[in-house]
Structure 1
Amino acid sequence: MSMSRESPSKPLMAPVYNDITKENLHSQHHAIKNILSRASFLAFDTEFTGLGNKQDGLHASNLDERYENMRNSVKNHALLSLGITAFEEISKEDTSSLEQRYNVHNFNFTLFCRHEYKVTPKSLEFLLANGFDFNKQIRHGISFYPGNDSSRAKPEDHSSIMRSIFAHIHTLNIPIVVHYGLMDLLYLYYSFYADLPERMSSFIADLSEMFPAGIYDTKYVADYVTRERATFLAYLFRKYEREQEEWKSQGIKRHVIIRVQDRLPPAALSDCMNSRESLNENGKRSNGSKSYCEQYAYHGVCHEKMNCGKSHDLNLILDDHEHKKRQKRRKIDKSSRNEDTRRDVKSKVSNTSGTYHTAFFDAYMTGYIFARHLVHLKEDINTQKNKLYISGKNIPLLVEKSKYGKTSSAHEEKKREKVRDEVGALHGNASDDSTIKD
């Protein structure tokens, strides 16, 4: 029987995850597909070797030009790790219950691209600062070849297995969730599906057919629907987790309960799994008297990095934001003087900067945020389907096939190949039946 852990509980540990490398991919990929098949939705995050320079046009005002520049960036850089989190909704026997429960499986795929690629120094610094293990990536990374399928590839090759997992996801017809996810989707498509189409309209048309249940971008929802004060991933996760814990303790609003499942039965390199033991090893809260970094509080990035003398503790930032919100309410309504006497729910995480940016953990946080949206936005969440956040634009990129947009030739060939495989399987079954009758 699989043991599970509920989150939040006690000082938060980095959630249990399955560390998938070249040593255990072959033995685990069937179990991975089975878990993905049970999911209600999947959350994704990627880590890659860089974006390029500012002058590379990744923020061009013309979206077709921007896509072309992003496409070139993806083809010249490489995916380093992929995080997938599967959220399986648990049916409720008591329909009046305020709890919405999910069983959750986390997967972190360490990858090793076999094509030549560029590396951006700032990206390396960022990854190293957040604990990315390049030695492990080189020694144990799953080899893959991006772009179109190779005629020489064998089904047992690591690259073929990764493509089969991605192809399996297309068949599930469940929502796909990302956070500021256009670049993630470009990397996933190029690494495990096909060469990126030259036109953005074809890429969008392909995505709309590949993921018919829709793609949801939690950054877009946070910016334009819930109108959050800050919308970077770690901030939203910490805010919503505190909120959910408070609502659970009060028992007055629907809330999300997450049960992070134990990792799959151990295979090779099990000692690498869950290597990040705790977000704060000493378990102590940051000094509340220390002022926090305003730049980090609103953008999730600090240009001073390790030299910044101010706190990046999200609990400290959120405590201050909540305090200011209460002060504002008191100014509007003097009758709420007892506001400060209410019980503050203590946070379950200590210092929350510096250990977030791993692919599996970012995928987990993205999925948690979406689970919260499902509970509190309810039917309204459907109106946010297929809207990707685009920097510098006040409207989203719509993932829908236009009457002028055509799917790519590579995508059409994939569809024909699928039909051929299905026909071949039917003929194979018919031959087996005739053999049995004889």
Structure 2
Amino acid sequence: MNPSNGFRSKASSNDTITASTSSKIFGNLRTQQGRLSKIAVLEVNRENITTIWPYLLISIRNASFISLDLELSGLGIRKGWSSQSLEDRYQVIRESARSRAILSIGISIFRLLKRKETDQKKRIKYQCQVFNILSLCAAPFVVEPDGLQFLARHKFDFNRLINLGVSYGGDTARKNGCATYDTLKALWEEILSASVPITLHNGIVDLAFIYQHFYSNLPETLVEFLANICDWFTLDESGTPGLFDSKYLAEYSARLKASYLEYVFRKCQRDNAIEASSSRAYISIEFDDLPLSNDSIRTAFDVVDCQLPNPFLEAVIVPNGVSERDAELICKKYATFGFCNLNEKCNLMHNVDLVLDLEEQKQLKLRRRRKHRYDYASKGIRIEDDRQEERAANDGSEEGDELLTDKSSSIVTVDNSKVRDCSMELDNRLEEVASRSISDIERSAVGCHRAGVDSFMTGFSVIFMSRMNVLRKGCFNSEEGNRLPLRGKPIPLIIRKSEFTKRTEDHSIKWERIEKERSRIKHLRTVTLNS
């Protein structure tokens, strides 16, 4: 539910793509040395869901983890979202989920292919397929003008939603004959049955909407809701957590300066390129190109450009510098929260790369000052050590004194040159950007906006922030699982059962069936591995 600014669609899903031209349009669907430059998205709609359904199910059952994101028709009254009482917050979210609809569902399915750790290379390789499902609620729902304007600004195609959206509905819709078979409810049960980790960004709202629209009516209290979804996200008898939130990781683990999705993803994407160029642990993504072999699916395939700035394509990465003039023109609210109430009327810059360039420039200056202080102190210590050595060696040969003096002088010269090189590097970049005009910088890089892209951004961010655990153990850190960030609260919301709260009856009935399917799938996996 965050804007995917800076992304461009290379091929519209309306375009006719033949086998001979597909390779030219889509190119190589792999990252090159950690430089992620494109996101392949497969649109699922009313016309092609029957064809794509088997491929979707196979992808889910072979997944290492699944990332989700939703586009909603609105969020309701915001006033109660910051209430001190968590129960009050839940009631506001519950009312919004009951009255609003899900317009599209982003599902990114990641499968871990390889993890390699040597002195020369530390690479984690995933295969990924991104699905963007258009969903049209069959029951009446509330639409908020602000929400529609937001989606319209980010290129959401409402005509396509109305004409091709996959119909879904609750009990009311079925009673009125508006829906016969709820495909999306069946899809959610398949995801739960797969028993793999799920990633979200600021997931409390998404979980409430998923529960209400694709599972059952939301429980009346927060503790009942947590008790129910605790079953969803407990993957085995040992209590392995199955939910990981990228906003929680950004705030509590990585300690990033901001935690909105676009910032978190772009920061991880840039740092991943730096890690790869420095032979440290990095992520490699390979998008599954199997759908390109099917003529009926190929036309629904699209590639979104998320190319990094030019400096990140070089062998040695030196981020762009930011002049004082450009720094003053960055919208402070956008830089901190990822949005601005003035939207297009704002005369300041809404460019996340510029925000990150400025942040990295400040960090470089800070490192330079620290290094200068360290070198100055080290020089004083070395001079004092040299004096002591000279006094102790007064009875030595003159040759030894000359060697000692030469060695001391050379050490000081090398250290000072490092300080000068660091200063010159920063000064040169600032000179380059000082002459740059404002028109050279994209003021607000607004591209396409879809749930599928956001779900990929979420999944990639979680992998990168958990990369060392994945590299060494092949999984996320369980201590960071089943935790959701809470606005205005110093601690997260932990998904766990209360000893004093029972699961709701309707959930218990549904969960018994899903749990049996989980056990069956786990058994099949065990048999496959053993064979």
Deviations 1:133-177 (A, max 9, x none): 1100000000001369959999xx785322222111112221111
Residue 413 of structure 1: CA displacement?
Answer: 1.6
Distance of aligned partners of 1:28 and 1:241 in 2 relative to their CA distance in 1, 3 Å threshold? same
Counterpart amino acid of residue 277 in structure 2: S
Aligned amino acid, residue 363 of structure 2: K
Question: For the residues of structure 2 that align with 1:267 and 1:310, how far apart are their CA atoms?
Answer: 45
Residue 227 (1) aligns with residue 230 (2): no
2:211 is matched with which residue?
Answer: 189
Counterpart check, 1:164 vs 2:193: no
Show the counterpart of 1:310: 348
CA contact (8 A) 1:23 1:268 kept: no
Distance in 1 of aligned mates of 2:34 and 2:281: 21
Deviation at 1:277, TM superposition (A): 4.9
Quote the offset at 1:90 in angstroms. Answer: 0.8
Q: Does 1:372 align with 2:399?
A: no
Alignment of 1:62-141 (within 5 A): 62-92=85-115, 97-141=121-165
Cross-structure match for 1:203: 225
- SS of equivalent residue, structure 1 residue 7: coil
Equivalence for 1:410: 506
Please say which of residues 108-117 and 392-401 is displaced more in the overlay. 392-401
1:367 Cα deviation (Å)? 0.4
Q: Which has the larger radius of gyration?
A: 2
Aligned to 1:239: 267
Q: Specify the alignment match of 1:435 in structure 2.
A: none
- Does the 8 Å contact 1:43/1:177 carry over to 2? yes
Contact residue 315 and residue 350 of structure 1 kept, 8 A: no
What is the CA-CA distance between 1:310 and the residue it aligns to? 2.0
- Secondary structure at the residue paired with 2:39? coil
When residues 219 and 147 of structure 1 are mapped into structure 2, their CA distance, relative to the original with a 3 A threshold, is farther
Residues 93-139 of structure 1: per-residue CA shift (max 9 Å, x gap):
77664000000110000000011111111111111111111100000
Counterpart of 1:299 in structure 2 is 337
CA distance in 1, matches of 2:277, 2:37: 21
* Equivalent position to 1:51, from 75, 82, 89: 75
Report deviation, 1:13: 5.4
Compared CA separation, residues 351 and 206, structure 1 to 2 (3 A): farther
The answer to whether the 8 Å contact 2:42/2:301 transfers is yes
Find the aligned partners of 1:243 and 1:299 in 2 and give their Cα distance. Answer: 20
CA deviation profile, 1:337-385 (whole Å, cap 9, x unmatched): 23364999xxxx9888423642011100100011112213568832111
* 1:169-222, Cα deviation, whole Å (9 max, x unpaired): 112221111111111111111121111111111211111112223211111111
Contact kept? 1:26, 1:158, Cα under 8 Å: no
Q: Which runs of 5+ in 1 are unaligned?
A: 423-438
TM-score, scaled to structure 1: 0.84
Which TM-score applies when normalising by structure 2?
A: 0.70
Whether the aligned pair in 2 keeps the contact of 1:12 and 1:279 (CA below 8 Å) is: yes
2-structure distance, mates of 1:210, 1:132: 31
Task: Give the aligned CA root-mean-square deviation in angstroms.
Answer: 3.4
| Structure with the higher helix share, 1 or 2 | 2
1:384 aligns with 2:412: no
Query: Between the two proteins, what is the percent identity of the paired residues?
Result: 26
Name which of structure 1's ranges 43-52 and 260-269 shifts more when overlaid on structure 2.
Answer: 260-269
How many Å separate the matches in 1 of 2:305 and 2:259?
Answer: 24
The size of the alignment, in residue pairs, is 411
1:358 to 2:450 alignment: yes
What is the letter of the counterpart of residue 248 of structure 2? Answer: Y
For 1:333, what is the secondary structure of its paired residue? helix
Query: What amino acid sits opposite 1:90 in the alignment?
Result: L
- SS state of the match for residue 109, structure 2? strand
Say whether the 8 Å CA contact 1:296–1:312 is kept in structure 2.
yes
In structure 2, runs of 5+ residues without a counterpart are 1-22, 236-241, 313-319, 376-417, 430-440, 519-531
Q: 2:276 aligns with which of 235, 245, 248?
A: 248
Paired with 1:147 and 1:322, the residues of 2 have a C-alpha distance of 52
Contact 1:148 1:194 (8 Å CA) reproduced: no
CA deviation profile, 1:246-290 (whole Å, cap 9, x unmatched): 111121x1111111222625465754532x65458xx99999664
